[in-house]
């Protein structure tokens, strides 16, 4: 065996950072830029890919869901984040334990880590650059919300991008995330999951979605590391 033994893929929003509604604000600004009118109603992000969210927004506003319309809104969203990137630190924070966990895995030669996020690639980069985390993950083995509308498919993208390191087996790929969408992605793709109740979903909701390992947060690095290194064949439900 050559290369790292684990491919660890991190969700971003409410797992590594909290942006406190900044994304919804950017969606409203982007919709106004793209279509010249106001976005009506709430924007439900919650772990869904940007392509999925964009499709729903277009439908809700009676805009034909064409590739052109989708790309128009996605481009405006990317531009909004880039233009407002300096405002992001004032609206967001790195969640407790996230920096230490990223640093620990980055320093472990057995681990290769990227992100698996619902965000557009450009948006994900802005978020982690502005909060000082971007240098700790490999962007070339990551997957993003503009790769595919189905979050489970993002796992395939990340694994294919990591093949230059080596082919990681199902038990050697670990997703870390905070929503039932992360749980769905891991179960559907057949890889492992460490869920954290750092977002809107409770530990019970994550377990109900199918998560076996659920941590309160990332502050206990020892426990996080122990769960990440468990094999998929082991029962690993935690209290």
State the CATH number of the domain containing residue 202. Answer: 3.40.50.1000
How many structural domains does the chain have? 2
- In this prediction, what percent of the chain has a pLDDT beyond 70? 95
- Nearest CA to 218 out of 124, 110, 105, 117 is that of 105
Question: What pLDDT is attached to residue 2?
Answer: 62
Domain-terminating residue out of 88, 123, 146: 88
pLDDT at 85 over 70: yes
Question: What pLDDT is attached to residue 4?
Answer: 83
Shared domain check, 178 and 144:
yes
How many Å apart are CA 187 and CA 190, to the nearest integer?
Answer: 5
Shared domain check, 205 and 131:
yes
Question: What pLDDT is attached to residue 178?
Answer: 97
> Residue written as tokens 């948006």?
123
How many Å apart are CA 33 and CA 38, to the nearest integer?
Answer: 9
pLDDT at 231 over 70: no
Which segment of 13-22, 116-125, 191-200 scores lowest on mean pLDDT? Answer: 13-22
User: What average pLDDT does the chain have?
Assistant: 92
Shared domain check, 173 and 148:
yes
Specify the pTM: 0.91
234 domain residue, yes or no: no
Shared domain check, 59 and 13:
no
Q: Domain range for residue 211?
A: 6-18+93-228
Condensed to tens digits (0 to 9), the pLDDT of residues 135-170 reads 999 999 999 999 999 999 999 999 999 999 999 999
């Amino acid at each position: 065996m050559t290369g790292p033994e684990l491919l660890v893929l991190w969700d971003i929003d409410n797992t590594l950072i909290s942006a406190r509604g900044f994304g919804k604000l950017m969606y409203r600004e982007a919709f106004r830029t793209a279509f010249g009118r106001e976005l009506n109603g709430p924007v439900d992000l919650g772990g869904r890919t940007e392509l999925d969210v964009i499709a729903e927004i277009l439908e809700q506003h009676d805009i034909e869901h064409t590739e052109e319309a989708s790309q128009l809104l996605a481009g405006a969203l990317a531009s909004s984040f880039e233009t407002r990137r300096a405002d992001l630190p004032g609206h967001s924070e790195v969640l407790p334990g996230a920096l230490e966990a990223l640093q620990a895995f980055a320093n472990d030669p057995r681990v290769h880590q990227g992100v698996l996020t619902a965000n557009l690639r450009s948006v994900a980069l802005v978020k982690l650059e502005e909060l000082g985390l971007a240098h700790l993950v490999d962007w070339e083995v990551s997957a993003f919300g503009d790769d595919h509308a189905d979050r489970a498919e993002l796992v395939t993208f990340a694994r294919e991008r990591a093949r230059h390191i080596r082919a990681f087996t199902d038990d050697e790929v670990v997703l870390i995330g905070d929503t039932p969408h992360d749980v769905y992605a891991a179960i559907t793709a057949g890889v492992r999951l460490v869920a954290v109740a750092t977002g809107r979903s409770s530990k019970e909701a994550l377990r109900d979605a199918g998560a076996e390992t659920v941590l309160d947060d990332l502050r206990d690095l020892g426990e996080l590391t122990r769960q990440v290194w468990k094999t998929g064949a082991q029962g690993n439900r935690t209290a």
